[in-house]
Chain A
Amino acid sequence: MSFVWTLAEQHEGRLKAVSYELLGRGRALADKLDTKLASLLIGDGVSDEQLQTLVHHGADEVYAIQDPRLASFTCETYSNVLVHLIKTYRPSVILAAATSTGRTLMPHVAVRSHAGLTADCTELDIEPGTGHLLQTRPAIGGNIMATIKTPDHRPQMATVRPKSSRPLPADPTRAGRVIEVPLDLVLVDERVQARGYRGDAVDFVNLEEADVVIAGGRGMKKAEHFALLQGLAKALGGAVGATRDAVDRGWIGYPHQVGLSGKTISPRLYVGAGISGAIQHLAGIKTSETIVSINSDPDASLHQVADFGIVGDLFQVLNELQRRLDERRRGGEEDRA
């Protein structure tokens, strides 16, 4: 029986949330194909208890390949491990997250396995009758949706946009097996050496995995005003994004840039303040669940794609919003007290 596989991701021994999103996707596919769902973890230091949570979120089997040499991602060794597992077990579908790791590893493995790979999918389904995986993704800056399949090659591989679906609720009664697979040392390629992270990695903005992104554009007028967005991001439990214009003016760093030449995000809530909504910016936010726009220009393009727009001065609106959120928080604290 050809399984559906999802690749779990870890950082410093902790499973990343996207691992569970993939399991939700994989579960639906495995059920339609009447096969089993396995989750693979390549990494180090992930506890048995955490591996069990992959079962709780939908996996029938969990394969954990753990070794200190796998602690940090290097493409060559991870690719050797995955190619070897594919040869041994012949899965029919492999899903990975469209993260920096997934988008590096999967094309490498696809070439070596002579498999088709579709990037950054937002919808997945099984074609009735043939059982082929239908992979749908935004292309040309989100202006079209292309559906792709791989009829003659196996495995069928896809990377999936983080946050584009929600994980299944955890079910601690679900049964499944966790299997530790030892790392075969011939698979270790030492040409590329990971040396850890640059010192300023603390509090690094992980926009792709944020549930809420508060983004600012040229309408923010100066760097200091981004503090307004930081405050709101804090109150709403999110991160701060920006347009290329704001980044190029030096108001905020490139890791915050959203759009064609920056990050593609799919948060539950995106709020854009002082952003016109140029096509290159929209390319990075179109699959957000809810879009809110604050812009004084009623004709701003961002207003056209927003679920809720306020035509107004962003400074007045954001300050009022912050005040009201603070009030609610204090109210909540008093309620609990």
Chain B
Amino acid sequence: MPGPMGGPHGRSIAKPKNVGKTFSRLLGYLKDYKWQLVFVAFGLVVSAGAGVAGTYLLKPIINHISELLKSGSTDMSAFIGYLVVLAAVYGVGALMNYIVNRMIVNISTATLESVRVDMFTKLEKLPLKYFDSQTHGEIMSRFSNDTDALRDMLRQGLPMLITSGITVVGVLVMMLVLSPLLTLLVLVVFALMLLIVKALGGKSAFYFTKRQKSLATVNGYIEEMIEGQREVKVFCREDSVSETFEQKNEELRQASTSAMTYAMVLMPIMGNLSYALYAAAAAAGAALAIIGRADIGTLAAFLQYTRSFSQPLTQLSQLFNGFISALAGAERIFELIDASPETDEGDVTLVNVEKGDAGNLTEVPCCTNHWAWKRPVGGGYEYIELRGDVRFHDVSFSYDGEVDVLKDVNLFAKPGQKIAFVGSTGAGKTTVTNLINRFYDVQRGSITYDGIDVKQIKKDDLRRSLAMVLQDTHLFTGTVRDNIRYGRLDATDAEVEQAAKLANAHSFIRHLPQGYDTVLTADGANLSQGQRQLLAIARAAVANPPVLILDEATSSIDTRTEALIERGMDRLMKGRTVFVIAHRLSTVRNSNAILVLENGQVIERGDHDGLIEQKGKYYQLYMGMFELS
């Protein structure tokens, strides 16, 4: 079921459950950069401090000029001295700023890379149950929205926190140093500013949630109606659909306008409040100057300070929301990284062997067509030949732990045999195939492979001995050749072509614009359904496995391509143990054994003729002219 991506729906503003824990986890990722981060913090303090200090220097500079004016001297040497100091302070500030920002870019990009790689590698190890329990959209959102929020926090949020914080504190301190009296005035206005920030911030957050909801609704409607436009046209619903859209559109406009107004209005208010403060300070300061309690230099510096803290204050207030959502996102990211991987306590592996004349097996590093299971026994190993003898012993299984999908299933396949599963939808056919390769593990009973319990075999090795051709083909972005080679990464070009020929795919591939090097997009969207199926068969063919799991469902494919697919599948099945979810008459007729599943149980078994004679469920399905889905 395709779910909408997190992207167009905007960031989710869920609150993090445990800020402290998430934050320290995050710090863990930054551990390697510990000393660099200390330097960065130091640098940010220096750079912010330089700005504050530079403004302070206005006082002695302006005062010096006034003195020179009064005394009539023209000795500029001290003045030049002050300017040099000022230049030095500014220079240090700017340089630090540059260095520190370069470092922040490096650290943040490297951290993000680690986080992303950790997420992805964990993703590949997770059990299928995890993927069943979430929509793709939700998982993707962690890779996109959540990492974006984290990036913003690392790259801008945290540095700004330090810089703005130091600036505000520094400015207030210096103002106090310059003139405690005037600072009182400042504090009053400052308190007023804080109140305004809080009030507007609260309103803004409220409307933003409304806006997010409305945006999700509108975007969801757009998706649904555009995906379903055939229906809209066929049923002439264009007008009514547009009307409904108008309503949702208008709701969005209102919510968004309210939300953004409260957010946008903050800057001009704060900025101009600081001008009002500037004005009041100018008047008060001048009055003080007249009575000799302040000098012009102090006034100059002080006034400059009043202009420099409204911006950092506004920035600080806007940072808060960003942090909350970034931490919430980080929490989701860590949830993914911490999720339990597929359990794999097996110790039996699959190795290449050569068979000696006496029938003994010796392990070789590669490339024979003989395989064996290598089981640690006592102090050494024993080798058991891979033949494809798969058995189910009283297997019961449930996906959710409550409803049994398979009940006490027994089956056996001797090597080279073809076992067909038939039954109505939901009878348990796909589940059986999911269990053979341990996509899920059984709750009761056991499955043995060449006599070894599959739970003892390492999952990767088990899966390497099987190949699957499923109902959903799933191809990857890449060339046709790469996609076929997915079955066996070290296959040569000749082997790839051979596999394609076996699958009856070779001729259509040759007719593609770049043949085998044609690039497939998005799950093979530039191919037809039938062609994708043929590629999937080729992919399995090149893997050349001893055991094959095949799901024959091929709906909505034309008869000619279907015939090609059938012949390809037949060739693929030769000489292997095959478990096939059968949909074709010819398949079941050629099977060694047919298992009829119903409600998770094997109700009939036998070969085709035998089952027809029984006139049971199989006979019924068969008489429906073999529609088994």
Tell me if chain B binds chain A: no
